[in-house]
Structure 1
């Protein structure tokens, strides 16, 4: 009996010791608190923006701001992103909002917020994925439209992805029809895209060459387009189709960075908000869009990763779209440590911690378990990540609830 009790006590104390190793001690908490800026709410309807004034210091004169997300379906994360975006537009003169959605289809939303053309719910549905078919995004779109109605300087809406060719083909065909050009070149392109597809958007080198030949003929038509903006969009749609035909896992992020560069160069005095998953805006590896943006723009690009401790989120798992419980952040995860600070919502200045170099911040400068969930989830939502080298700043929210899907949301 005594032996059994001793064994239980040993196991208990080992567990306590392991737990304490994963917890922040009082010195570490005091140190990390120096780099924390509490945020009073994630709600975009909040009229008092005094808690967001810190963004003036953190962003400085940077012209591109990346806003991430740890899942594609957290209401609080999206609300926080949209609250920050509204502040940057209204107070920091940012004039382009761009998100991880197919570029041609997303551009249709620009026509809605600029001119009132189309139905925003239909446009969001036409952007393919359920991610943006939410009440949170629709509310933000309506805010953009109202902002444009009340300001001389306008905000633009666009995407930067290229996972589908249909929208680009349709918009090119429309230009052909408006100019009364024979549509055979477009028909031939559509046949080539269909016949050379090897499954889920993959094309052989031979197939890519065939598509490139069709695109070359179509591109020549741009010489006769007199409207400069129309010509630029026509050529960009041609390039979206080229990117689509060459798409693979690594190239997608590089192409997204190229499309953001196109936005930056083709909109006057542009300051761009880039909304995408944490994975894409991260600066660390060359398979990330953020890496290429950092290579191109250096200090002109800053990014904010997002994290939450527990709750629910929207996701599509095994083809079933709905609400799912997140994996609660356990000992050893970054979210567990940050939650122990008992601050519901805050911005953490990772750049300043790196610059300070104090050993009390070493735990956050190393690889650490960090949530990575996209439109679905694996059984284990946490992977080892060098968060400090991936993001300039991190926004922590203690509790997530699922994004509010619009009726008819799919995919």
Structure 2
């Protein structure tokens, strides 16, 4: 049974739909939706779709013009500084900097084009910075801290999520490192100003970031794998909040729908990054999910139930799911073609729309790895009005363009 193109819910969604091809209306819609917003989560249903990356690039340009100051990406907090050096100062090779963030999903022509645009945007002076928020891949931080790193932490350089947990001594060493850095910061502040309080004493931003990356990665490395997703999302929320410490900062967060959503991911078991941000910032956090009707995307396939990092990503195809239990079917019926719908907005909602927003439904959701035989029938559950403040719908997607690794 397909969704009917009539009724109170259909009419409410259709009235709010803004065609993505209409730049002026899209910009105006975002300006209204972003009123009072300091951090916006830009989601994606897959990590391997060209159209999602290109849409987020377009949205970033609009947000930059509306006063957003930082792009924070689901990428290595430690290694992302290389990208920031390029977009602010033109230092280094942009493709190499993107590749060194640790994720094949970002080593694409579409992400590289976004990074090149950021460089042009900042050419006359810094206007938008770039940051990673993921504790994974702390190699740059281990190197930057040099001899101050306890020997136990060297194991983090080769650790990857999904590996067997490291000994608890690794996390204990990381906590000692963080404590010694905090103590050194207090000593430096006291030397500079004997009247400074402990709360005023902070380390230099670079040292603080590197220590934090190592500490967070160490905490992830020693817990059982089933505890990693919740801890990782909380750490990513914490890292976004560090960026928001500057009262003038407004942050756009580039991540998966499963991270930017305001509810619980992984079948309701994991409080998503967006859940923490919504709890901490209320309406100043806006979660925008990006969905698609059908098409192709890149991902790696599991082999014998496990992800194999050496395997190349492959093309995956999914058909349109017309059933009314899917959010995508309702969005497709509401408006022909690609569009964006602000679910917050002004004005009263009809009771039927209120009920629809509060009902549990399903949507497509794929990470960097999918099951070989099961992905076509794979859906995640959602309560649209609880999890998202807005939804963008792409009718058909194609694969992102992965670039050769320059390293």
Structure 2 CA distance for aligned equivalents of residues 258 and 328 of structure 1: 37
Query: Number of matched residues?
Result: 371
- State the match for 2:55 in structure 1: 80
Contact 2:182/2:202, CA 8 A, preserved across alignment:
no
Partner of 1:324: 316
1:244 matches 2:236:
no
**Separation (CA, whole Å) in 2 of partners of 1:199 and 1:33:** 43
Structure 2 counterpart SS, 1:23 = coil
Secondary structure at the aligned position of 1:40 is classed as coil
Equivalent residue, structure 1, for 2:138: 165
Q: Does 1:30 align with 2:29?
A: no
Q: Is the 8 A contact 1:163 1:201 kept in 2?
A: no
Q: C-alpha displacement at 1:153, in angstroms?
A: 4.7
> Once the two structures are superposed, what CA deviation does each residue of 1:221-280 show, in whole Å capped at 9, x if it has no partner?
555599999811201211111111112221111110000011111x46111111100010
- Matches of 2:403 and 2:158, distance apart in 1: 35
CA contact (8 A) 2:153 2:170 kept: no
RMSD of the TM alignment (CA)?
2.9
The superposition leaves residues 115-156 of structure 1 with CA deviations (integer Å, 9 ceiling, x where unpaired) of 111101111111111111011111111111011113x45210
Change (3 A) 1:262 1:36: same
| Equivalent residue for 2:289, pick from 305, 321, 340 | 305
Cα distance, 1:303 vs. partner? Answer: 1.4
- Give me the whole-angstrom Cα distance separating, in 1, the residues matched to 2:156 and 2:288: 37
| Structure 2, unpaired ranges of 5+ | 193-200, 221-227, 265-269, 303-310
Cα 1:153–1:232 change in 2 (3 A) is: closer
Q: Deviations over 1:72-113 (max 9, x none)?
A: 011111111110101111x21111001100101012111001
Native 8 Å contact 1:169 1:186 kept in 2: yes
Tell me if the contact between 2:39 and 2:251 (Cα under 8 Å) persists in the aligned partners.
yes
Between structure 1 and structure 2, the one with the greater Rg is: 1
Higher helix share: 1
Tell me the residue number matched to 1:62.
Answer: 37
Match in the other structure for 1:147: 121
Change in Cα spacing, 1:218 to 1:291, as seen in structure 2 (3 Å) is same
Q: Which shifted more, 393-402 or 193-202?
A: 193-202
SS in structure 1 of the partner of residue 46 of structure 2: coil
Cα distance between partner residues in 2 of 1:99 and 1:313: 20
1:394 corresponds to which residue? 391
Any idea what the Cα deviations from partners look like across 1:357-402, whole Å, max 9, x if unmatched? 4215533431111111111224132122112210000001101111
Partner Cα distance (1:406, 1:241) in 2: 29
Would the alpha carbon gap of residues 83 and 296 (structure 1) be closer, same or farther in structure 2, given more than 3 Å must change?
same
Contact 1:334-1:370 within 8 A present in 2 as well = yes
Cα displacement string for residues 154-194 of structure 1 (whole angstroms, at most 9, x for unaligned residues): 21001101022212112222xxxxxxxxx2x3262534657
Kept after mapping to 2: 8 A contact 1:346/1:397: yes
Structure 1: 5+ residue runs without aligned partners? 1-18, 42-47, 174-182
Moved more, 250-259 or 48-57: 48-57
SS at match of 1:62: coil
Contact 1:189 1:214 in 2 (8 A): no
- SS of the residue corresponding to residue 79 of structure 2 reads helix
